[in-house]
């Protein structure tokens, strides 16, 4: 009986000493989780009012919730009397080891964060970077998905995109079509320039301002090279380019203007052997 009474007394002492701490720690966890959820929703609403990208809203809200919950857990552990300084040191060491093991993934994560924040491109843009080009389908935390013109899906690590030059073909409303057309040296340059100017002017997709430009760009080895520059809507760039090349060939054939190809004169010498 005395042993039972001693055990009961010890349990009562433990409950008296640690019971309130446990209840306080549980209260901190419950209230902290509620506050963290409220903070996540608040940040989402604030970013939504600023018309931020949905991906940015989700990313920042999630990061803020995780950070708040880490603080809440540390506060609850401190309430229980656990030395959080040593716990933080252990977490830091573990984080360092994980960081070294996942160095590439963390680099992609940081690059994804920067891509989302600075937005050099958005979903739907046609870009060129990291040696590939295509339309942006999605921007994830670690990778960016592109769809190529021939309908292939290319998944590019974010760090490669961020470390390379990014060319965004969709940010501007207009693009300039640059064509180099070679004509033979005996062709009439006036006629050739007039035909090129007429082709550009007759195409309704070509902008009048700035006007198309035709000029001699180079006296090459086998041809006189003319440059044709004309502005069009970005969506019409490839149709205008393809149609113009075909029309130039047809009109030059009708006018008798030759488009030379590389050629080489070979001289044969006959040597008589005595």
Mean pLDDT of the chain: 82
Please identify, in words, the CATH class of the domain defined by 174-255: alpha beta
Record: fold of 120-168: SH3 type barrels. (2.30.30)
Which position has the token pair 């130039």? 248
pLDDT score of 122 = 87
Q: Do 140 and 112 form a contact (C-beta atoms < 8 A)?
A: yes
Do the Cβ atoms of 161 and 118 come closer than 8 Å?
A: no
Query: CATH 1.10.287.1260 residue ranges in the chain?
Result: 2-101
Q: Classify domain 2-101 at the CATH topology level.
A: Helix Hairpins (1.10.287)
- The CA distance from 112 to 140, in Å, is 7
The Cα 35–Cα 41 span in angstroms is 10
Region 246-262 average pLDDT: 90
The answer, yes or no, to whether residue 204 has pLDDT greater than 90, is: yes
pLDDT-based confidence at residue 231 (cuts at 50, 70, 90):
very high
**Band of pLDDT at residue 176, cut at 50, 70 and 90:** very high
Whole-model pTM: value is 0.61
Q: Which residue spans of the chain are classified as CATH 2.30.30.60?
A: 120-168
Looking at the chain, the domain(s) classified CATH 3.30.70.100 span 174-255
**Average pLDDT in the 133-139 region?**
89
Task: Give the lowest-confidence range in 68-82, 97-111, 239-253.
Answer: 97-111
Residue 35: band (very low, low, confident or very high) from pLDDT cuts 50, 70, 90: confident
Torsion-angle region of residue 130: left (phi > 0), alpha (psi -120 to 50) or beta? Answer: left
Q: Tell me what pLDDT residue 76 has.
A: 77
CA atoms within 13 A on the CB side of 151: 0
Question: Which range has the worst mean pLDDT, 21-25, 121-125, 186-190?
Answer: 21-25
């Amino acid at each position: 009986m005395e042993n039972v009474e001693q055990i009961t007394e010890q349990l009562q002492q433990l409950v008296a000493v640690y019971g309130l701490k446990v209840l306080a720690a549980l209260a901190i966890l419950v209230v902290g989780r509620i506050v963290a959820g409220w903070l996540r929703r608040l940040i989402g609403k604030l970013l939504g009012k600023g018309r931020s990208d949905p991906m940015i809203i989700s990313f920042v809200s999630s990061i803020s919730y995780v950070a708040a919950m880490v603080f809440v857990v540390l506060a609850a552990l401190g309430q229980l009397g656990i030395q959080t300084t040593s716990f933080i040191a252990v977490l830091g060491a573990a984080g360092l080891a994980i960081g070294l093991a996942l160095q590439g993934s963390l680099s992609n994560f940081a690059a994804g964060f920067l891509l989302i924040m600075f937005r050099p491109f958005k979903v739907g843009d046609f870009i060129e970077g990291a040696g590939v080009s295509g339309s942006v389908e999605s921007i994830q935390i670690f990778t960016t998905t592109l769809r190529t013109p021939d309908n292939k899906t290319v998944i590019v690590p974010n760090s490669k995109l961020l470390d390379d030059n990014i060319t965004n073909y969709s940010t501007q409303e207009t693009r300039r079509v640059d064509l180099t057309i070679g004509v033979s040296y005996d062709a009439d340059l006036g006629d050739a320039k007039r035909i090129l100017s007429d082709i550009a002017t007759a195409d309704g997709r070509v902008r009048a301002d700035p006007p198309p430009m035709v000029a001699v760009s180079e006296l090459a080895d086998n041809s006189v090279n003319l440059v044709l520059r004309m502005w069009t809507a970005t969506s019409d760039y490839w149709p205008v380019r393809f149609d113009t090349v075909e029309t130039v060939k047809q009109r030059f054939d009708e006018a008798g203007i030759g488009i030379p190809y590389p050629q080489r004169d070979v001289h044969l010498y006959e040597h008589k052997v005595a």
